[in-house]
Structure 1
Amino acid sequence: MQFLKKTLRWFGPNFGVSLKEIKELGVEGVVTACHQVPIGEIWTSEQIGILNKEIEDNGLEWSVVESVNIHKAIKYGLPERDLYIQNYIETLKNLAGHGIKVVCYNFMQLIDWTRTDLNYVLPTGAVSLLYNPLAIAAFDLFVLELENALEVYGEPRVKMARDFYDALDSHGREQLNNAILAGMPGSKDLIAINDFKATLEEVSKIDKTELRANLAYFLKSVIPEAEKLGLKMALHPDDPPFPVFGIPRIASTYEDLKFILDCAPSPSNGLTFCSGSLGAVASNDLLKMLRDFGQDIHFLHLRNVCRQADGSFYEAAHLDGSIPMAKVMLEVVREQIRRHKTAKGLVAIPIRPDHGHVLLEDKKRMADFYPGYSLVGRAKGMAELYGLEQGIREMLL
């Protein structure tokens, strides 16, 4: 039986990691995208081909696209959404033409992911990422200057946020802003505060029901075309899996994932199982999700988090933290066995160690990396996950 396909995300040569280094780690595939193409525009066959050749020239394959981002007209249900859906389909056709079979994407609004500290130092000295809801409240109240603060947060929470913000020096405030405004993966540009405010005002007009309907419209348009092309669409859950700045979430719970799969039943309509995203709240039963949705999981992001009593969490080592990673891997291998026996589904599911701590020599080049995407920390995570997979296979097979 095939092993999971080991992959590593690569943002291109300007983010501190080379394809040569990735190859040396023993991975088989690269997870990347045409990051230079504006959201909503078609990725041409030529653009895809140039990137694909660069990857193949380094002895690797382009295993997964992450991500073909979705234009806001689709998310907001604007009149021009059909144009952008057609552009999306043309991009899928061009990707399929180069033999790329798995596409990861998400339906998050405004910000692709959210952390409040990109330089959280662990007791070991390793550098990690932290989410602190009090920092979000402080940013909302004293940077965005929320007008109905008392109504939204209540007086005790506002006071706590004020104390938190007052305790930050100018550097701390700058770091908080930079963490939240980090923008899209594959870009080092920060979102401007005024743009953030304007977009937040836009998205605040869309409730969860409407956002779900817009996702369903997208899926019903795109999934039949993806199926014709032999592509696997793998929706990534919300990160974190609860509303931030009042923005509704629609890919955060068991019920959300079931809704997504039921919208457009197809072998092409599936999920990216991100343990770190879904596992940021204790109420998500990751093992049940793996058992019930296993056949629809096309891509694995395995990452651990350590949840705190105040609702904050930090990214732990891959085998530590609040998520029972050994049990997660056990369910993954059981799904592989099922696929192998039934000859249904890809046995060599692409997997990547999702994020990694900044360790050792990587600390000297932290500024080069996209947050969470150091080299040594991810290599450590990949080795741990591969060893876990090996041990569980020996136990079961």
Structure 2
Amino acid sequence: MRETWRWFGEFDPIPLDQVAQTGAQGIVSSLHAVPYGEVWSRELIAARRTQIESAGFSWDVVESLPVHEDIKRGTGDLKSLFANYRQSLANIAAEGVSTVCYNFMPILDWTRTDLAAPVARGGTCLHFSAAKMAAFEIHMLGRADAREDYHQDAVRAGDAWFASASKDDQAALFHAVMSGLPGALDRYDIDGLRSVLTSYAGITHDDLRANLARFLAEVVPTAADLGIRMCIHPDDPPRDILGLPRIVSSEDDIRWILQAQNDPVSGLTLCTGSLGSAQGNDVPAIAKVFADRIHFVHLRNVTKSTDGSFTESAHLAGDVDLVAVIDELLEAECRRDVDLPFRADHGHALLSDTEMDAQPGYTMIGRLRGLSELRGIICALS
């Protein structure tokens, strides 16, 4: 398995010369400044590739080439959006990058309620409180039917939390939830969020699946011609959020997606933390079932609660059996004769990490610890 490290380019406080000290071989990156739906020019891609290679790395994975919200909604000038996506893929391939991660989550790329939850013995981690999220949807957002979407224990606890929450508490929760909305921190307030949610009004799970199927039909043949492996990222968390449908949350969801375009280049980003956040997901079994269509791997761990809450644990301390997952992946590598790129996904904020203005979860020391632990598993199993 090939060690990679996610790097946010000009938005990342961790320079590549420090990343080099982690031992990672490849970089996972994106062009975060390009607006969604616009073509990634070959010039911009080449500049990022040169920047990465000058530091002694290869650009192994694009994460992500974002899918415009109009494609997910099935509205607007879809012909132009599909053409732009295909041209971006062509430009990426021309610069030698052959793995592209993407997601199909409406509006929110990921959702947490706490960005700095305390960890025993020091440090902080990301946390999803079903109670706080229920409070956010019921009391702060005022979404109709939100009470029916959460475990009743979470609803009761959320009511109690909101009753005692200060304005600062509510602001911190709003900030945490909005952190999963790329570029939105400076343009959405509660009213703005309500407004953008109305653009998905009436869109069902079946509608979103149909729109994903259309997207795949438009781009997978091009990816196959270009030699690009497309790998969809699971929903994070794997459940409906804010009344928005989620369709990449389970083994059955993944099976449907891979059958929609039954081409080996249309594959999965196996994110053990995202899938592992749902009580019903057996992540080692999912790794085994879809081993031949996994093109990229995010390895992290979570501890779950029965009300739907979860905490991002240390990589070897959660509910997901990462040793079993890695064992399945190593077996698949031998069978497929591939070197799967993986990264230590997220990490606790440890020591000087707490003083760094990094993207949530993308700490230096915490991820270095995770990568070291995962490296040990891989060496032992190999």
Amino acid aligned to 2:138? L
Q: Match of 1:203, SS? A: coil
How far apart, CA to CA, are the structure 2 residues paired with 1:331 and 1:178?
38
Counterparts of 1:189 and 1:11 in 2: how far apart (Å)?
Answer: 19
For structure 2, which runs of at least 5 residues remain unmatched after alignment?
Answer: none
Q: Deviations over 1:351-388 (max 9, x none)?
A: 000100000111122xx101000000001100100110
Check if 1:83 corresponds to 2:80.
yes
Letter in 2 for 1:96: A
* 2:286 equivalent in structure 1: 289
- The letter of the residue matching 2:276 is G
Written as runs of structure 1 = structure 2, the 5 A alignment for 1:145-160 is 145-148=142-145, 159-160=156-157
C-alpha change, 1:324 and 1:348, in structure 2 (3 Å) is same
Residue matched to 2:193: 196
Cα distance change of structure 1 residues 153 and 379 upon mapping to structure 2, 3 Å threshold:
closer
Q: Could you tell me the TM-score, scaled by structure 1's length? A: 0.92
C-alpha contact 1:115 1:129 (8 A) present in aligned 2: yes
1:378 aligns with 2:367: yes
Distance 2:327 2:305 in 1: 26
Asked if 1:363 is matched to 2:354, the reply is: yes
Does residue 349 of structure 2 align to residue 352 of structure 1? no
Query: What's the offset of the Cα at 1:23?
Result: 1.1
Q: CA deviation at 1:249?
A: 0.9
Q: Provide the rounded CA distance (Å) in 1 between the counterparts of 2:151 and 2:127.
A: 24
> In the superposition, relative to structure 1, how do residues 157 and 114 fare at CA in structure 2: closer, same or farther (>3 Å)?
closer
Q: 1:5 to 1:184 in 2, by over 3 A?
A: farther
CA RMSD of aligned residues (A): 1.8
**In structure 2, what is the equivalent of residue 126 of structure 1?**
123
Return the alpha-carbon distance in structure 1 between the equivalents of residues 339 and 149 of structure 2: 46
Residue 194 of structure 1 deviates from its aligned partner by 2.5
Deviation by residue 1:115-145 (Cα, 9 ceiling, x = unmatched): 0000100112120011111111111122112
Cα distance in structure 1, aligned partners of 2:283 and 2:219 = 27
Counterpart position of 2:316: 319
How far 1:80 sits from its partner (Å)?
A: 1.4
Is residue 2:380 matched to residue 1:391? yes
The match for 2:95 among 92, 98, 104 is: 98
Separation in structure 2 between the aligned mates of residue 101 and residue 150 of structure 1, nearest angstrom: 44
Aligned residues of 1:307 and 1:313 also touching (Cα < 8 A): yes
Work out whether residues 143 and 242 of structure 2, in 8 Å CA contact, stay in contact via their aligned partners in 1: no
Q: Which shifted more, 73-82 or 314-323?
A: 73-82
CA distance in 2, matches of 1:85, 1:113: 24
The worse-fitting range, judged by mean Cα deviation, of 140-149 and 312-321 is: 140-149
**Cα pair distance change 1:154/1:238, threshold 3 Å:** closer
Q: For residue 199 of structure 2, give the secondary structure of its aligned residue in structure 1.
A: helix
Counterpart CA distance in 1 for 2:265 and 2:248 is 17
Contact kept, 8 Å, 1:183 with 1:191, in 2: the verdict is: no
| Counterpart residue type for residue 119 of structure 1 | A
Deviation at 1:167, TM superposition (A): 2.4
Q: How many residues align?
A: 382
Matched with 1:344 is none
Per-residue deviation, 1:156: 7.9
Letter of the 2:332 partner, please give it: E
Q: 1:276 touches 1:303 (CA, 8 Å); kept in 2? A: yes
Letter in 2 for 1:36: A
Q: Corresponding residue for 1:217?
A: 214
- Name the SS for the 2:121 alignment partner: coil
Q: What is the TM-score of this pair, normalised by structure 2?
A: 0.96
Instruction: Decide which moves more: 83-92 or 193-202.
Output: 193-202
Give the Cα–Cα distance (whole angstroms) in 1 for the partners of residues 130 and 331 of structure 2: 36
| Residue aligned with 2:290, SS | helix
Give the counterpart of 2:205 among 208, 211, 232.
Answer: 208
Residues 110, 196 of structure 1: 8 Å contact kept: no
Q: Residue 238 of structure 1 contacts residue 277 of structure 1 at CA under 8 Å; is this kept in 2?
A: yes
Matched-pair contact (CA < 8 Å) for 1:130–1:315: yes
Deviations 1:187-219 (A, max 9, x none): 865643233111212223200001001000000
SS, match of residue 314 in structure 1: strand
Superposed counterparts of 1:165-184, under 5 Å? 165-184=162-181
Q: Which of 34, 37, 57 lines up with 1:60 in the alignment?
A: 57
**How much identity, in percent, do the aligned residues show?**
39
Are 2:264 and 1:267 equivalent residues in the alignment? yes
Per the TM alignment, residue 79 of structure 1 is displaced from its structure 2 partner at its CA by 4.3
Q: CA separation in 2, counterparts of 1:375 and 1:207?
A: 39
Query: Which residue number in structure 2 is paired with residue 343 of structure 1?
Result: none
C-alpha distance in 2, partners of 1:7/1:154? 37
The worse-fitting range, judged by mean Cα deviation, of 140-149 and 111-120 is 140-149
Moved more, 159-168 or 318-327: 159-168
